[in-house]
Amino acid sequence: MNFSVGLSTYLLVGAMLFCLGLYGLFAKKNVVAILMSIELMLNAVNLNFVAFNRFLATDRLIGNVAALFVIVLAAAEVAVGLALVIAIYRSRQTTNVDEFNWLKW
Amino acid sequence: MQTFNFLAITPEIAVAALTLILLAMGLLIPDGARKGMMPLTVFGLLGILGYTVYDFFFGKMGPAFQGMYFHDAFADFFKMLFLVAALLVVLSSGEYVQKFPAYRGDFYALLVAAILGMMLMAGAADLLTFYVGLELMTITFYILVGYMPHDGRSSEAGIKYLVLGAASSAILLYGISFIYGLTGSTQLYQVAMGLGSKVNPPVILATVFVLAGFGFKISLVPFHMWAPDIYEGAPTPVTAFLAVASKAAAFAALIRVYLVTLENQSFAQTGIALLLILASLTMIIGNLVAIPQKNIKRLLAFSSVAQAGYLMVGVIAESVPGVKGVLFYAMIYVFANMGAFAVATYIGQAQGSDEIRDYAGLARRSPLAAAVMTASVLSLAGIPPLAGFVGKFYLFSAVMDTGYQAIAYIGFVMSMVSVYYYLSIVKVMYLGEGEGLPDIPVRGAAKFAMVFAMLITLFVGIYPSPLAQMAMAAANSLLQ
């Protein structure tokens, strides 16, 4: 059986990762898990960028560069996010988002 | 050998230098001697503002860095807007910042770093440049919103903003990755050429994802749910800056991305239907939900959601008068909103409460603050002769000319609805008793910021043509 991995396979995996991240964003109760879900979404984006660069625009490296930028900025985002989690854990002794309800939605 | 025209990004370089200087000073100077940081920030920002105004009128314009960055009147107009907003925030929050714990010396440095991100967004000609600017701005804002670690409400607002902001960035990026896949480029004009005129599912997907990401940043309904919580929990000066400058920056980038890629029909056809619905919903829901609010910061949050709807009307017009309307309205919105927030900051830290009922009798206890608040909210409501009236006139007449009458009517009706809740604040201040609440004399830089914001609001309302001409020049530079 002839099986080849093409662009659509990568895009499909990317879309699945993105949807998993989006699901985790809404379903998870622990704020650290939510941050991990967001990382999944960003990794789906990276996969898309790199796959598009590999299959469609091989002469220039914009897609690979974009993926690197996204990785760096996602790291910065998570660093700030974890600092905020620690700040809120100190005052409430919990990381459950259901208990972050001092400000009403 | 490539040459780089660094002159084109002089304000950005100056702002970056100011950030680093303030950061170093905050670390080096002993705790007691940090009072000098506010004047340094003010004079630094004034100098950069002066250069930007000069650049706006006499500078040599053109794309820089191989078309990665625009240096035009449109970007300069927004840079002036960010700097003015930051100046008013810094001036009106001096006493508020003094109350922060002594070891926190980085407030002004973070504020200035956020300006740098906004400037990059306003000038970005490449989706990647735009994204870096956006993240610089929002990551700084995550820190600023959760700036008070011992106040649980501030941390909670910070973490909510971070989760929702990061998720919306991911959605925006997913859209950008598809735009890159469709066109092989992230440079705006190449994207516009590459997309072609066919409407197909990937284009619709990319359009919807990108507009959803932008919608979050400018708090369009249904992406507005974060706004009231974050506005309430954040330190009030940060709320002011978030409401005014970050929204204007997102609008700058949205206008550029949307109108530049408009040349091809595929992006616009999906976009316009979506934006018409979202802008109408934003005006309706923002204004109606503002009515029952009891907290001044939550009320101003919903009011700013509604104002985003009015600004969106100008973007939908897709014409030079429409963009001019957006620029004009965004600038006067800075002064009106900063006036209101300067009063909210000052009264909030003097009374320790942001509830509207605690503004009772403010006209007797603090006549200046009550007058500034009144002028600001009436300008936001669009009552002549204040500046907000002229701005709304430009926006709605532009969209009528393009042929979307229905949305202009929704805007008119909702402006009238907004008068109700704006006047309810005025009623509490002027007719309330305010027994037992303290007298609050307004002093120092906060007084200057309030009076300045009120005078500009009055002056532009009576004599709008200088600002209108500047907005016109900026709009022309974008849509050549």
Q: For residue B475, what are its two tokens?
A: 């709009």
CB B206 within 8 A of CB B178: yes
Residue B344 above 80 pLDDT? yes
The predicted pLDDT at position A91 comes to 86
Cβ–Cβ gap B180/A66 under 8 Å: yes
Residue B262 above 70 pLDDT? no
The nearest CA of chain A is from the CA of B368 a distance in Å of: 31
The predicted pLDDT at position B412 comes to 92
Phi, psi at B430, each rounded to 5°: -95, -30
Is B167's Cβ below 8 Å from some Cβ in A?
Answer: yes
Domain extent, residue A69, equals: 30-98
The predicted pLDDT at position B263 comes to 62
pLDDT band at B455 (very low <50, low <70, confident <90, very high): very high
Angstrom distances, CA of residue B387 to CA of B353, B376, B379: 29, 9, 6
pLDDT band at B66 (very low <50, low <70, confident <90, very high): confident
What string of DSSP letters covers chain A? ------HHHHHHHHHHHHHHHHHHHHH--BHHHHHHHHHHHHHHHHHHHHHHHHHT-TT--HHHHHHHHHHHHHHHHHHHHHHHHHHHHHHHS--BGGG--SS--
* Residue of A25, A52, A76 with shortest CB distance to B181: A52
Cβ–Cβ gap A42/B178 under 8 Å: no
CB B440 within 8 A of CB B366: yes
Q: Which among B135, B155, B171, B205 is the top mutation candidate for probing chain A, defined by the most A β-carbons within 10 Å of its own β-carbon?
A: B155
Residue A103 above 80 pLDDT? no
Note the Cα B73 to chain centre separation in Å: 18
CB B226 within 8 A of CB B161: yes
Average pLDDT in the B113-123 region? 95
pLDDT band at B30 (very low <50, low <70, confident <90, very high): confident
CA B473/CA B377 separation, integer angstroms: 28
Residue A9 belongs to a domain: no
Average pLDDT in the A49-74 region? 91
pLDDT band at B196 (very low <50, low <70, confident <90, very high): confident
Question: Which residues in chain A have their CB less than 8 angstroms from residue B185's CB?
Answer: 57, 62
Phi, psi at B124, each rounded to 5°: -65, 130
Question: Which residues in chain B have their CB less than 8 angstroms from residue A91's CB?
Answer: 149-150, 152, 155
CA B186/CA B202 separation, integer angstroms: 16
Ranking B41-45, B97-101, B131-135 by mean pLDDT, the lowest is B97-101
**Half-sphere exposure (Cβ direction) of B122: Cα atoms closer than 13 Å:** 29
Helix, strand or coil for residue B454? helix
Neighbours of B208 (CB within 10 A): 16
Residue A91 belongs to a domain: yes
Q: For residue B368, what are its two tokens?
A: 């200046």
pLDDT band at B73 (very low <50, low <70, confident <90, very high): very high
The nearest CA of chain A is from the CA of B24 a distance in Å of: 20
- The identity of residue B335, as a single letter, is F
Residue B33 above 70 pLDDT? no
Residue A2 above 70 pLDDT? no
CB B376 within 8 A of CB B337: yes
CA B151/CA B135 separation, integer angstroms: 25
Average pLDDT in the B257-279 region? 80
Is B194's Cβ below 8 Å from some Cβ in A?
Answer: no
Taking CA–CA distances from B229, the nearest residue in chain A reads A103
Average pLDDT in the B467-479 region? 90
Q: Percentage of residues in chain B with pLDDT exceeding 70?
A: 97
Is B308's Cβ below 8 Å from some Cβ in A?
Answer: no
pLDDT digits (tens, 9 = 90+) for B162-192: 999 999 999 999 999 999 999 888 988 888 8
Cβ–Cβ gap B167/A38 under 8 Å: yes
Residue A11 belongs to a domain: no
Taking CA–CA distances from A79, the nearest residue in chain B reads B139
pLDDT digits (tens, 9 = 90+) for B405-453: 999 999 999 999 999 999 999 999 999 887 878 888 888 889 999 999 9
The predicted pLDDT at position B276 comes to 92
Residue A25 belongs to a domain: no
**B442 Cβ contact list (under 8 Å, min separation 6):** B346, B366, B368, B369, B450
Phi, psi at B100, each rounded to 5°: -60, 155
The predicted pLDDT at position B480 comes to 65
Burial B281-295 (b: 16+ CB within 10 A, else e): bbbbbbbebbeebeb
In terms of phi and psi (left: phi > 0; alpha: psi -120 to 50; beta: otherwise), the region of B220 is beta
In terms of phi and psi (left: phi > 0; alpha: psi -120 to 50; beta: otherwise), the region of B264 is beta
Residue A103 belongs to a domain: no
CB B333 within 8 A of CB B310: no
Name which of B99, B216, B256, B235 is nearest B155 in CA terms: B235
Angstrom distances, CA of residue B232 to CA of B43, B300, B303: 30, 9, 13
Is B180's Cβ below 8 Å from some Cβ in A?
Answer: yes
pLDDT digits (tens, 9 = 90+) for B381-403: 999 889 999 999 999 999 999 88
The nearest CA of chain B is from the CA of A4 a distance in Å of: 20
Which residue is listed with tokens 């309810």? B424
Average pLDDT in the A84-94 region? 89
Residue A23 belongs to a domain: no
Question: Which residues in chain B have their CB less than 8 angstroms from residue A81's CB?
Answer: 142, 159, 162-163, 166
Angle, helices B247-260 vs B465-478, to 10°: value is 40
Most confident region among A82-91, B136-145, B271-280 by mean pLDDT: B136-145
Q: Percentage of residues in chain B with pLDDT exceeding 90?
A: 66
The nearest CA of chain A is from the CA of B87 a distance in Å of: 26
The predicted pLDDT at position B312 comes to 93
Q: Provide the number of structural domains found in chain A.
A: 1
Average pLDDT in the B214-230 region? 90
The predicted pLDDT at position A1 comes to 60
- The identity of residue B298, as a single letter, is R
* Residue of B173, B174, B184 with shortest CB distance to A56: B184
The nearest CA of chain B is from the CA of A3 a distance in Å of: 23
Mean pLDDT of chain B: 90
Cβ–Cβ gap A90/B149 under 8 Å: yes
pLDDT digits (tens, 9 = 90+) for A20-49: 999 999 999 999 999 999 999 999 999 999
Question: Which residues in chain B have their CB less than 8 angstroms from residue A25's CB?
Answer: 163, 167
Q: Report the alpha-carbon angle B301-A21-B254, nearest 5.
A: 45
CA A73/CA B278 separation, integer angstroms: 29
Q: Quick one: DSSP state of residue B242?
A: I
Q: In sequence order, which ranges of B106-187 are alpha helices (DSSP H)?
A: 107-123, 127-145, 152-183
**A23 Cβ contact list (under 8 Å, min separation 6):** A37
CA B38/CA B90 separation, integer angstroms: 7
Phi, psi at A30, each rounded to 5°: -85, 130
Is B171's Cβ below 8 Å from some Cβ in A?
Answer: yes
pLDDT band at B82 (very low <50, low <70, confident <90, very high): very high
Name which of B218, B182, B177, B224 is nearest B200 in CA terms: B182
The predicted pLDDT at position B254 comes to 93
Q: Report the alpha-carbon angle B357-B361-B364, nearest 5.
A: 155
Question: Which residues in chain B have their CB less than 8 angstroms from residue A63's CB?
Answer: 180
Average pLDDT in the B299-305 region? 94
Question: Which residues in chain B have their CB less than 8 angstroms from residue A77's CB?
Answer: 135, 139, 142, 162, 166, 169
**B461 Cβ contact list (under 8 Å, min separation 6):** B379, B384, B385, B386, B387, B388, B389, B390
Residue B111 above 80 pLDDT? yes
The nearest CA of chain A is from the CA of B8 a distance in Å of: 23
The predicted pLDDT at position B170 comes to 95
The predicted pLDDT at position B104 comes to 67
The predicted pLDDT at position B100 comes to 77
The nearest CA of chain B is from the CA of A38 a distance in Å of: 6
Name which of B369, B379, B378, B377 is nearest B346 in CA terms: B369
pLDDT band at B264 (very low <50, low <70, confident <90, very high): low
Average pLDDT in the B211-226 region? 90
Residue A105 above 70 pLDDT? no
Residue A18 belongs to a domain: no
